[in-house]
Chains A and B, each alone.
Chain A
Amino acid sequence: DAGVIQSPRHEVTEMGQEVTLRCKPISGHDYLFWYRQTMMRGLELLIYFNNNVPIDDSGMPEDRFSAKMPNASFSTLKIQPSEPRDSAVYFCASRPSGGPDTQYFGPGTRLTVL
């Protein structure tokens, strides 16, 4: 079975540019999560969706960040405009509702903002 798929794996951009990260959850999983990993703050939850609806976005750092889930198999995390302090690894994870509730993570997108 395919795991969580993220693209791109690496992104280098300049300050002020718009960045879009993409995620395809595991088929049949109703929950989707976006995390950010930095040396300073470790792994932190940004936002999560259930059945394509945002449930908790309290971890989104500021208005420059937005996330959408237009359908059950696709989500985006957008940063506009990007800043150097946004440099991090962004993970997407998914889990099913009911049954095992473990979150399964994608390979991550390493974002570098120059």
Chain B
Amino acid sequence: AQKVTQAQTEISVVEKEDVTLDCVYETRDTTYYLFWYKQPPSGELVFLIRRNSFDEQNEISGRYSWNFQKSTSSFNFTITASQVVDSAVYFCALSRYGRYGGATNKLIFGTGTLLAVQP
């Protein structure tokens, strides 16, 4: 069975602090995709990153970085020098690798982590 666990329900930090959001997944598949989405207070879901299981290279995009470790089934997300605009719920999601390549259409979402960045 596939499962995504985001154990941190809520995190509160002060602006400029670094913060890491944890994501642990379970799957029996050898190939799969992992995603992070952001849901700001306005409610929409914003895609942040997609990573496939055969690419364990970490990724950095501005203040955002992602650490993928297959050995521990984790795909953690770090925000460096957090800002108030980073306040949102962050979701980690898992998808199987489709028969013809690419992610299948069933995304398994974690329960989300509410990040509150205080000024």
Contacts and interface: CB of A to CB of B under 8 A. Distances in A.
A56 B102 CA distance: 18
Chain A binding site: helix, strand, loop or mixed by DSSP? Answer: strand
Interface string A48-65: 100000011000000000
Contacts of A43: 91, 107, 109
A91 to B, nearest CB: 6
B44 A45 contact: no
In which size bucket is the chain B interface?
A: 20 to 34
23 contacts: A42-B109, A42-B110, A42-B111, A42-B112, A43-B91, A43-B107, A43-B109, A45-B107, A48-B105, A56-B105, A91-B45, A98-B102, A101-B33, A101-B98, A102-B50, A105-B37, A105-B44, A105-B45, A105-B46, A106-B44, A108-B43, A108-B44, A110-B43
Contacts of A56: 105-106
Find the residue from B45, B98, B103, B107 having the highest chain A CB count within 10 A.
B45
